[in-house]
Amino acid sequence: MSKPHDNLVALGTGSTKYNYDTPDFAVLEKFPSPFNSAAKKGVLDIRGHLDIVCPEFTSLCPVTGQPDFATIKIHYIPDDWCVESKSLKLYLMGFRNHGEFHESCVQQICSDLVVLLAPFLISVTGEFTPRGGIPFWPTATWRKKSKTQVPK
């Protein structure tokens, strides 16, 4: 009998391949949401939510090449799927040497998680350290309009 986590590749493997140059959607993995499975069994209609804080996010300024540092905060209400944490860490590490503006990084993270998870709601905020005395904290949010809405 297979278990919901049998298809996870990054978690528990003997070796991990690290990519610091390009965020790679293919490394993201998911597993069935425990919140949704309880609701489907008719036990309780519980809609849990998850808050993930990634305090060591880095990317590069696409103009100067200087490093940008941020805390990435992800808040989502899963439908059928949850993101596997090690795969998320590997995905976020792909931004380390990737040149992109703060807003674009946050938008890409949100978009990729929407495609992966099709959650009821997701919000991704990047709390970037000040550059030139001005902190930027962009937020990207997506909300499912109906049960049948498929992310693009």
| Domain positions in the chain | 25-143
**Model confidence band, residue 36 (pLDDT cutoffs 50, 70, 90):** confident
Beta strands in 36-88 (DSSP E): 50-60, 67-77, 81-83
Q: Which residues are catalytic, by number?
A: 61, 68
Average pLDDT estimate for 7-13: 68
**Which is higher by pLDDT, 18 or 84?**
84
The tens digit of pLDDT for each residue in 42-56 reads 666 667 899 999 999
Alpha-helical regions (H) of 21-140: 34-40, 85-93, 102-117
Mean pLDDT, to the nearest integer, of 103-114? Answer: 98
Query: 141 near 110, Cβ under 8 Å?
Result: yes
pLDDT digits (tens, 9 = 90+) for 15-29: 777 778 899 999 999
Whether domain 25-143 has CATH 3.30.70.1380: no
